[in-house]
Amino acid sequence: MEEIMTTEIELKFALSQHAALKLTDFLADYPMLSEDNLWLTNTYYDTPDHQLRKHHCGLRLRGIETEKNKTSYEMTIKHGNKGVAGLHQRQEYNVTLPSKQLDLSLFPSEALPRSLDPKLLARQIRPLFNTHFHRQIWLIHYHQSQIELAFDKGDIQQASYHLPIDELELELKQGDVNQLLDFAYILANLGIRVLSQSKAARGYQLVNQRSLSVAIMPSIKLMTDKTSVLHALLKYWQQSEELALQQNDTLTFYHTLQTILPQFVDLFESPNSDRLANKINLNLVRLQQIVVKNLPLNEWVYQPIVTQTKLLIMTFIVHLKGSDTD
């Protein structure tokens, strides 16, 4: 048995048709450390009243089948997302299993929420939903970092309900989070859009038979620091976009953008701004010019400048957080 605690740092994207076709060609320009194909079957567990979810945790049992038809099993518990609207950062514990049998006693004590009794939890948990998908993996070298790209295609299943899985994950395996964001910025030229919802979050939506919650405009006047304001506005932008796509509500979304883009501009428009802030501000001004064209929503979200602006704002927030801890 092998157990390990790691911090997962990743970005998730949906790909335009063009991006999906050109991805392999795009990656040919970067040193390739490894490639692989896996078939993954996952079962997510929780108590009937979703105690793990309430503690911002997710529990998963995964079956991994390789191209050589070898199957292995692992269980994982992930803790709450501490990332920046779209940039996910989670602490996770992984334990390799000898068989397809969940065994919480194999986790180290710190892996489970302190307020939950491990023995009681083991008796109460039950399967909630499953995911099945093919994963194509590339591990590349980018500057001083190693970045894993995982292209997943399959579905989420709960009883007779299904949701498609069609996403690209970029995970920082080694190196600098700024280089992860920089690589994603280049990739965005193919036509990709940021995803904030994890597979687990979408699975719980199926269980609860709920759509995405209505995005609520943050009360930024009550916030005292720039980091919180930027995080709240970026999260609101992302939630509004995903809800609009789900409901096919282009009109409301463009109205939302016309409200929040000027607020972003105010935050980055300063004579003392650095190079990154100036670049963000120029992008925001260009976005304001594009919004009035009322492009179809599925065309707007894959515009390179849309995703690149979000990534630049994420980078700016990461820099602010870093300076706060210096």
Q: What is the pLDDT of residues 15-38, one digit of tens each?
A: 999 999 999 999 999 999 999 999
| Residue 124 shares a structural domain with residue 196 | yes
Quick one: which of 312, 286, 314 has its CA closest to 300? Answer: 286
Task: Please give the pLDDT value at position 5.
Answer: 85
What's the domain count of the chain?
2
Question: Does 215 or 265 have the greater pLDDT score?
Answer: 265
Question: Does 109 or 223 have the greater pLDDT score?
Answer: 109
| Residue 170 shares a structural domain with residue 191 | yes
| Residue 57 shares a structural domain with residue 159 | yes
Query: Which of the listed residues 165, 186, 208 is the one where a domain comes to its end?
Result: 208
Supply the DSSP symbol for 80: P
Q: Where are the beta strands (DSSP E) in the chain?
A: 3-15, 32-46, 58-66, 71-78, 87-97, 126-142, 145-158, 161-174, 192-195
Residues 111 and 77 sit within 8 Å (Cβ to Cβ): yes
Instruction: Calculate what percentage of the chain has a pLDDT beyond 70.
Output: 94
Structural domain contains residue 244: yes
Task: Please give the pLDDT value at position 210.
Answer: 73
Q: In this structure, what CATH number is given to the domain that contains residue 146? A: 2.40.320.10
Structural domain contains residue 213: no
Query: Which of the listed residues 208, 235, 263 is the one where a domain comes to its end?
Result: 208
| Residue 13 shares a structural domain with residue 89 | yes
pLDDT tens string 93-129: 999 999 999 999 999 989 999 999 999 999 999 999 9
Angle between helices 250-268 and 275-291 (to 10 degrees): 150
Q: Which domain holds residue 282?
A: 220-325
Residues 189 and 169 sit within 8 Å (Cβ to Cβ): no
Q: What share of the chain is helix, strand, coil (3-state, %, to 5)?
A: 45, 35, 25
| List of residues 6+ apart from 7 with CB closer than 8 A | 89, 90, 91, 92
Which SS3 state, helix, strand or coil, does residue 99 take?
coil
Q: What is the pTM of this model?
A: 0.93
| Residue 124 shares a structural domain with residue 171 | yes
| Residue 197 shares a structural domain with residue 257 | no
pLDDT of 326 > 50? The answer is no
Structural domain contains residue 122: yes
| Residue 64 shares a structural domain with residue 163 | yes
Structural domain contains residue 215: no
Task: Please give the pLDDT value at position 325.
Answer: 40
